[in-house]
Structure 1
Amino acid sequence: MTDQLCPCGSGKPLNSCCGLYLSGKTYPTTAERVMRSRYTAFAMGNIQYLHKTWHPDTCPDLQAEDIETQWTRLEVVKSKAGLKRSVVEFKAWYTENNQEHLIHEVSLFKLYKRRWVYVEALPSWP
């Protein structure tokens, strides 16, 4: 991986930020880091990492064409860490047909086999 900035918006180089997780060198220790690294995986088309960080009960069978979106920016609105479940609210912008669009989601993460994984989008902040 190059010295490009990480897509997650941390301001750090990719290879010393989410690139560490996507390469398998280490695993994120918080739900927010998992969420940021998943955004990076979506932006870079890394299906294997998305499967690894998705709870098996809710993980879809993703194909390459499912993640071809041009992601442009991420903002973490707030994050609430818990012992066995955490919630992260974020906004993610993407471009489609030369127009910018926004996804605003409150995501549930749970500990699964001692690792934080994405479970599902919640209807609102709990």
Structure 2
Amino acid sequence: MDAMPTPTLSCPCGRSEPYEKCCGRFHAGTAAAPTAEALMRSRYSAFVKQDAGYLLRTWHPRTRPARLDLDAGMRWTGLEILGTADGSAFHATGTVTFRASYRGGSLHERSRFERVDGAWVYVDGEFLD
């Protein structure tokens, strides 16, 4: 009997693509997020995967904390992009408004992004609700 192929899990960011072809390539450093929204999605996936290194690498140098301690007990359950402004290949800045759900609640934020040396980075966010 042939072994069943291992199912490829969709990316935590909510896209139907497999993690390796979606946010995984950004986490691995083999590609850069082309838009502010793609970076937002990849950062959410990094929180799901507990990848503090990626989160720090994609944080603007002027607002980046010296270290990031992630809560190992946090269980993120979904990401909903509520709106974007600018943040495409033709912009230097952009915002992404989103709701990230976790076991027991959700986080509603408008995040600001800028390009540094051509790459999108997270600047800061404003909590909503």
TM range (shorter): 0.7 to 0.9
Structure showing greater Rg: 2
Assess if the C-alpha contact under 8 Å between 1:42 and 1:67 holds in 2: no
Unaligned runs of 5+ in 1: none
Does structure 1 residue 121 correspond to structure 2 residue 129? no
In percent, how many aligned pairs have the same letter?
A: 38
Unaligned runs of 5+ in 2: 1-6
The alpha carbon displacement at 1:122 in A equals: 2.9
Assess if the C-alpha contact under 8 Å between 1:3 and 1:15 holds in 2: no
d(CA) in 2 for partners of 1:45 and 1:115?
Answer: 22
Amino acid corresponding to residue 62 of structure 1 in structure 2: L
The secondary structure found in structure 2 opposite 1:108 is strand
Assess if the C-alpha contact under 8 Å between 1:31 and 1:109 holds in 2: yes
The alpha carbon displacement at 1:3 in A equals: 2.1
TM-score by length of 2: 0.85
Number of paired residues?
117
Does structure 1 residue 72 correspond to structure 2 residue 77? yes
d(CA) in 2 for partners of 1:14 and 1:56?
Answer: 27
Please give the residue correspondences for 1:97-116 in structure 2 after superposition, counting only pairs within 5 Å: 100-116=104-120
The secondary structure found in structure 2 opposite 1:40 is helix
d(CA) in 2 for partners of 1:56 and 1:18?
Answer: 22
Structure 1 pair 67–113 and aligned structure 2 pair: CA distance change class (3 A) = farther
TM-score by length of 1: 0.87
Match of 1:88 among 96, 100, 104: 96
1:5-29 Cα offsets, whole Å, 9 max, x none, are 1000011111111011111110101
Amino acid corresponding to residue 91 of structure 1 in structure 2: R
Aligned-CA RMSD value: 1.5
Does structure 1 residue 49 correspond to structure 2 residue 54? yes
